[in-house]
A and B are shown apart, each in its own frame.
Chain A
């Protein structure tokens, strides 16, 4: 017999309570690991975005306000030698949805000539680029909508716009991108949209945003200032920001979901710490005499402290594993692909999220155990035995 065996047996003392406490750990930890994965996905996207050196230029008032098509030439004019910027790509929100479905896709019409340069991370092959340039109805889609609607390359699909004048356009899917950082999109050519708008006498030649592919971080900073200075005090005053700031603003317009997720995760941790602390305190109170006997027969106070701490950590770890491992396994084999939030179209539990969750569980276990363990360590054997007599 070892002390570890005694600890394990102690957890069997009140099986129902151990099971309930483990579940009280498992369920919040499942939520926690999902929330952390969601936030981690944002962080990964932000890190990927940073590498792309892209600036977004949109109307200062709001993203829904259009900017004139000609702004692209003005921006390009700031760097005629192309020493700071590589390309400028105008984009217009289409807000298309598959007929008979409720949710609009992140569908954007992009300048055909510069799109492959500005979105180089989509890894368009020369053949893809040639096809994109040749076919006015060409569409490049991410894995999210492709998996959701079971689309294949070469398929002809129809999207109905959810914004006036509610066009219904058909597209040829020329590429399904497997870029993990950019999964939830549907890009097509802006000239196709503008021509279609002209056919119904709607206003054309406008953009919601211009994306600028820069050549360095320094170039990003200087262009950001120059563009906003150039448009200052005009009807088309702009706000230029890097992609991360743009994504953050965009998602926060829907509510600070990542922030809320983090708060939720913190609340979850706090609640399970209370639950575990309460359980450990009850367990300690029930065993006061027994612990007094342990001390009477020669167990040193620090050893009694470590027994309670070890029990608490063991319980926290078991509960957390019950929550984290099934969640991670489930999401590994069945990622949530129907999910739509900003650039994210799927949630997978990252190994980092698992490590963070288990580390936090360990800390919660330590936190929950520290007070009862301290009480046990300080317990005066004589007082505890006298309470019995």
Chain B
């Protein structure tokens, strides 16, 4: 077993709405090794996204501990978490959320504005990130000039441009057709195998889940099933 990149210990998350407590995660224990591609599955409301948000430092557990790398997230302030996210986590969302008035390159460059870095170095990093996702020739295109799959690739480039250890993807293929989804999943496989990124991906799609090495099934806030399987050979496949 490799070094644990992510470790959750007895994590509970309860939302309060109109004085009513809604438990979302119930005493979750989880250990994810560095460099694995983990898929989170489960019905709506099972706590998948909440778990992703806790690991991404976007939310705090009601109780329990969340460790990512050397950081105990439950001990960190909002400000510290924000800084931590900018350096250690990359987010990929279902709806891409690119800034429509910026080009692909500028969207990818956005997280780098938070770093002390020369313009030349930023440009180089953006070029590298876009070449990894196969969009080097679309740098100056705006989101409305790109297909859905290309937009998601730009979002992936934005997620990896700061070279984070962990990539969190919330239904990254939920809005794409099967063929384009396959390309995106292959790209995630590539990031996992060739760049050693630890990837957590939420999906409802069993075909997408097959791209991971491990599948966690959540239901009603508890880990119902934890399945290890051989990684797909897709990483070797074309990312285009």
Does B19 make an interface contact (CB < 8 A)? no
Does A355 make an interface contact (CB < 8 A)? no
Q: How far is the CA of A10 from the CA of B101 in the complex (A)?
A: 7
Does A54 make an interface contact (CB < 8 A)? no
Instruction: For B213, list chain A residues within 8 Å (CB).
Output: none
Does A103 make an interface contact (CB < 8 A)? no
If A12-B101, A296-B58 touch, whether A388 touches B95 (CB-CB below 8 Å) is yes
A214-272 residues with Cβ-Cβ distance < 8 A to B are none
Instruction: For B100, list chain A residues within 8 Å (CB).
Output: 13
B153 nearest CB across to chain A (Å): 16
Contact residue among B78, B85, B102, B109 (Cβ-Cβ distance under 8 Å from A296): B85
Does A332 make an interface contact (CB < 8 A)? no
Does A389 make an interface contact (CB < 8 A)? yes
A119 nearest CB across to chain B (Å): 63
6 A-B pairs closest in CB distance: A298-B86, A9-B101, A293-B97, A297-B111, A382-B59, A298-B114
A141 nearest CB across to chain B (Å): 59
Contact residue among B99, B102, B170 (Cβ-Cβ distance under 8 Å from A389): B170
Contact residue among B78, B79, B102, B158 (Cβ-Cβ distance under 8 Å from A297): B158
A305 nearest CB across to chain B (Å): 13
Instruction: For A289, list chain B residues within 8 Å (CB).
Output: 95, 97
Does A16 make an interface contact (CB < 8 A)? no
Which interface residue of B95, B97, B158 has the most chain A CB atoms within 10 A?
B97
B88-127 residues with Cβ-Cβ distance < 8 A to A are 91, 93-95, 97, 99-102, 106, 109-111, 113-114, 122
- How many B residues have CB within 8 A of the partner chain? 31
Instruction: For A59, list chain B residues within 8 Å (CB).
Output: none
Does B87 make an interface contact (CB < 8 A)? yes
Q: Which residue of A lies closest to B88 (CB)?
A: A298
If A297-B85, A299-B82 touch, whether A290 touches B99 (CB-CB below 8 Å) is yes
If A9-B102, A385-B93 touch, whether A300 touches B79 (CB-CB below 8 Å) is yes
Does B49 make an interface contact (CB < 8 A)? yes
Q: Which residue of A lies closest to B54 (CB)?
A: A382
Q: How far is the CA of A329 from the CA of B114 in the complex (A)?
A: 42
A2 near B113: Cβ-Cβ < 8 Å: yes
Q: How far is the CA of A382 from the CA of B78 in the complex (A)?
A: 13
Contact residue among A9, A293, A301, A389 (Cβ-Cβ distance under 8 Å from B78): A301
Does A1 make an interface contact (CB < 8 A)? yes
Instruction: For B238, list chain A residues within 8 Å (CB).
Output: none
Q: How far is the CA of A3 from the CA of B111 in the complex (A)?
A: 11
Other contacts beyond A290-B97, A298-B87: 18, CB < 8 A = A1-B102, A1-B109, A1-B113, A6-B113, A9-B101, A10-B101, A13-B100, A289-B97, A293-B97, A296-B58, A297-B91, A297-B110, A297-B111, A299-B114, A301-B78, A385-B93, A389-B170, A389-B171
A298 near B83: Cβ-Cβ < 8 Å: yes
If A301-B78, A389-B171 touch, whether A13 touches B101 (CB-CB below 8 Å) is yes
B111 near A298: Cβ-Cβ < 8 Å: yes
Which interface residue of A290, A301, A381, A388 has the most chain B CB atoms within 10 A?
A381
A185-214 residues with Cβ-Cβ distance < 8 A to B are none
Instruction: For A293, list chain B residues within 8 Å (CB).
Output: 91, 93, 97
Q: How far is the CA of A296 from the CA of B58 in the complex (A)?
A: 7
Instruction: For B110, list chain A residues within 8 Å (CB).
Output: 1, 6, 294, 297
Instruction: For A301, list chain B residues within 8 Å (CB).
Output: 78-79, 82
If A3-B113, A299-B114, A300-B79 touch, whether A382 touches B53 (CB-CB below 8 Å) is yes
* Chain A interface size, under 10 / 10 to 19 / 20 to 34 / 35 or more: 20 to 34
- Could you list which residues of chain A lie within 8 angstroms of chain B, going by C-beta atoms? 1-3, 6, 9-10, 12-13, 289-290, 292-301, 381-382, 385-386, 388-389
If A13-B100, A388-B95 touch, whether A296 touches B158 (CB-CB below 8 Å) is no
10 residue pairs A–B, Cβ–Cβ below 8 Å: A9-B102, A289-B95, A296-B58, A297-B86, A298-B114, A300-B79, A300-B83, A301-B82, A388-B94, A389-B94
- Could you list which residues of chain B lie within 8 angstroms of chain A, going by C-beta atoms? 49, 53, 56, 58-59, 78-79, 82-83, 85-87, 91, 93-95, 97, 99-102, 106, 109-111, 113-114, 122, 158, 170-171
Q: How far is the CA of A3 from the CA of B109 in the complex (A)?
A: 11
Instruction: For A382, list chain B residues within 8 Å (CB).
Output: 53, 58-59
A386 nearest CB across to chain B (Å): 7
B82 near A298: Cβ-Cβ < 8 Å: yes
Contact residue among B53, B82, B93, B102 (Cβ-Cβ distance under 8 Å from A388): B93
Instruction: For B170, list chain A residues within 8 Å (CB).
Output: 385, 389
A298 near B95: Cβ-Cβ < 8 Å: no
If A388-B93, A388-B95, A389-B49 touch, whether A295 touches B82 (CB-CB below 8 Å) is yes
Instruction: For A298, list chain B residues within 8 Å (CB).
Output: 82-83, 85-87, 111, 114
Q: Which residue of B lies closest to A386 (CB)?
A: B49
Q: How far is the CA of A2 from the CA of B111 in the complex (A)?
A: 11
Which interface residue of A2, A298, A389 has the most chain B CB atoms within 10 A?
A298
Q: How far is the CA of A40 from the CA of B85 in the complex (A)?
A: 54
B98 nearest CB across to chain A (Å): 8
Instruction: For B111, list chain A residues within 8 Å (CB).
Output: 297-298
Instruction: For A388, list chain B residues within 8 Å (CB).
Output: 93-95, 97
Instruction: For B53, list chain A residues within 8 Å (CB).
Output: 382, 385
Q: How far is the CA of A300 from the CA of B86 in the complex (A)?
A: 10
